Structure formats: C-alpha cells, structure tokens
Amino acid sequence: MHYTSLGRTGVPVSVLCLGCMNFGGDTPEAESMDIIDAAIGGGINFLDTANVYSRGESERVVGKALQRNGKRAQIVLATKVHGRMDDDDVLAAGNSRRHIIEQCDASLKRLQTDYIDLYQIHRPRTDTPIDETLRALDDLIRAGKVRYIGCSTFPAWRVMESLWASRELGLNRFVTEQPPYHLLDRSIERDLIPMAQTYGMAILPWSPLARGFLTGKYKRGEAIPGDTRLEADAEGPFRKRTLQHFSDRAHDLIDVIEALADEKGCTPAQISIAWLIRQPGVTSAIVGPRKMAHLEDNLGAVDVEITDDDRARLDEVAEPELAIVPYYHGSMINFNPSEYGWV
C-alpha cells in the first residue's frame, strides 16, 4: 500500500479508501466486517461511510468492526451528513445547524467512537447559506467531536465560496472534496482539480469504476446483466445517464482497458483504479466492494504500473477534461436518497 497526505492536513492516508456504502445493506454484517478486517490487513487506513447508507446500518457495522478488531486509533474514519434519515420527519435532512449537530451525535453513537476524523457534507443545498453549515461544523471541531471537515460533489464554485466564507469568518475550512471521477467522466480536470491543488484540498473520487462499467463485465451489444448496479439504475432516475454507458465510445474505452489488462496480466478494474490513483491531484480513490473478491481485486491495483504510453492510449479514447458519460454536475441537490439506492 502507498500513502499520501490528506490535503494540507499532513495526515497520511492510503491511496485506496474503503467505501462502506454496501455494508449492512447489500453486504451482510458478518461479511462486511470481514471485508473491513481484510482491507485494514491490506494496508488501507482510510474508511468512508455516511449516515444515510442503509439509514445508519453502514455506520453501525463499521463501528462494530472497529471495536472487534481494536484498530480504531489506526484508522482515519470519515462519514457524511445531509441525506434524509426519516421519511416522516421534515427536519431529518439537510445542511442546517440543527440537522448537522443532531446527526453528528447519532453517527458518533453508531460508530462507537468519541470523534470523527473527517466529517463531510454529502451534497450542497441551495436553501442553506454555507456560513450556516460551516459554523455548525466549526463548533463540532472546537468541541472535539470532529477533526477535519470536507464536502462531496460540490461544484468548484461552491467549494471556493466555502473557502471564502471560512476565511472571512475565521472558521475551520473544508480540507477535502469527494467528486465522481473516472475514465468515463474526466470533467473535474477542468476546474475542480486545479482549484484543489491551488488551495491544498484532497480529492477523494467516488465511483472509480463507474458503477462497475469499467470492470469490463458489460459487453458491447449484449443485454445489461441482472443483479448489477447499472441494471438497477436503468430502471430508475439515472436511466438516461445509465444508457449512455453503452455507447460505442464507452465500449471503445473498454476495449483499450482490456487490452492493457491483458498486456499487464491484471484485470480491467485494476487498470481503471491504477490510472485514477496516479492522476494529478488525486489523494485516495474510494472503492466500494460488495464482496471479498472485489476488495482483493481492488487491492491489486496499487501494484499495477501505468506508463506514459498507457496514459496516451487511454487519452485517445477518454479525452482529458471531457466526459463520455456525465457524472459530475451541479444539479444533484435537495435530493431524495431513496432514489439513489442509499436507503
């Protein structure tokens, strides 16, 4: 495993972060805990979850696993707040002080810990001024409940607004941003990554395998396999974006990834992750295994070399700063988490 600084904090984190969205949901508790143990054994010291994942079950399983293995002190533990936690309670969502303070205490209890290393705002909201959110987060840091704060899927202008507000008001600032980023969508290279590099922010990409498409398991001209993320998405609110995965351009990219994998004796998923963790500005890629085999494959990506020639071949079919399938945009706000499979 390799390690890098979490932005300007100086805290060393593994270049792979274990995303825990599936734990306590698609992945049963016992298997989830075994995956966490195996990830830590493989050198991962960075875990990411959220309160909204299975409405607290992911956090509960992560907390139970860290109590069982006794590794809490060696882990950089991240969670998030924003999504709706109760369908019948209008107050149970958002980026308000009330919701953030309440949910931080609930997350601490489920995670069985006295502090959260990285507390992130899961999505921006138009109805809550950023200073309202930042003041609540700053109070949590001063109370010792949170060490660092970050955001997820914020457009670059919203990140800059937050940095400006923190400076003007003397508040602790976001040190990380968690955007979608992979070979199908490289649009954050235009402004978000240069901004993050300039201001010392860590970039923590989610969905490094584009919901499984970059594993190569979806074949040109074939029906979408059942029991897969994209099969479910094709019937939901992401239908339009999901069908864009199956264009000739996207499959041309898969052809190059598979050719590189054959040449290097690894898997297409390992090529995709290896490319990502070596991209300028990237701190740690959030992998989200559902099964132990997925984790084992993900860990192998760390040792896959990506040469300048490999990058040039990928650039030909996945042009820098552009998207074959758009994931990164600023409209994912005020959302219903059930639409995203988070409950």
Position 283 scores a pLDDT of 98
The rounded percent of the chain whose pLDDT value lies above 70 is: 96
Q: What is the mean pLDDT of residues 183-196?
A: 97
| Structural domains in the chain, sorted by start | 3-340 (3.20.20.100)
User: What average pLDDT does the chain have?
Assistant: 93
pLDDT at 244: 84
pLDDT at 106: 98
**Residue 229: per-residue pLDDT:** 73
Q: Which residue has the higher pLDDT, 128 or 329?
A: 128
Residue-wise pLDDT for 255-273, tens only, equals 999 999 999 999 999 999 9
Nearest-angstrom CA–CA distance, 228 and 239: 14
Q: Residue 187's CB: how many other CB atoms inside 10 A?
A: 18
In degrees, rounded to 5, the angle at the alpha carbon of residue 174 between the alpha carbons of residues 171 and 179 is: 160
Query: What pLDDT, in 10s, does the model give residues 44-83?
Result: 999 999 999 999 999 999 999 999 999 999 999 999 999 9
Which pTM was predicted? 0.93
Phi, psi at 338, each rounded to 5°: -65, -25
What's the average model confidence in pLDDT over 189-204?
97
Q: How confident is the model at residue 333 (pLDDT cuts 50, 70, 90)?
A: very low
What does the pLDDT average to over 188-207? 97
pLDDT confidence bin for 330, thresholds 50/70/90: low
pLDDT in tens, 234-256: 777 778 788 888 899 999 999 99
pLDDT confidence bin for 222, thresholds 50/70/90: confident
Decide if pLDDT at 301 tops 80.
Answer: yes
Q: Beta strand 12-14 with 3-5: parallel, antiparallel or unpaired?
A: antiparallel
Q: State the SS3 of the chain.
A: CCEEECHHHCCEEECEEEECCCECCCECHHHHHHHHHHHHHCCCCEEECCCCHHHHHHHHHHHHHHHHHCCHHHCEEEEEECCCCCCCCCCCCCCCHHHHHHHHHHHHHHHCCCCEEEEEECCCCCCCCHHHHHHHHHHHHHCCCEEEEEEECCCHHHHHHHHHHHHHHCCCCEEEEECECECCECHHHCCHHHHHHHHCCEECCECCCCCCHHHCCCCCCCCCCCCCHHHHHCCCCCHHHHHHCCCHHHHHHHHHHHHHHHHHCCCHHHHHHHHHHCCCCECCEEECCCCHHHHHHHHHHHHCCCCHHHHHHHHHHCCCCCECCCCCCCCCCCCCHHHHCCC
Give the number of residues written for the chain.
343
Res 34: pLDDT: 98
- The per-residue pLDDT for 273 is 98
Instruction: Tell me what pLDDT residue 246 has.
Output: 86
The residues annotated as belonging to the active site are 53
30-47: b (≥16 Cβ within 10 Å) or e: ebbbebbebbbebebbbb
Q: Which of 112-121, 153-162, 243-252, 286-295 has the lowest mean pLDDT?
A: 243-252
Q: Are 209 and 202 in contact (CB under 8 A)?
A: no
pLDDT digits (tens, 9 = 90+) for 309-323: 999 999 999 999 999
d(CA 127, CA 3): 38
- The fraction of the chain above a pLDDT of 90, given in percent, is 85
Band the pLDDT of 334: cuts 50, 70, 90: very low
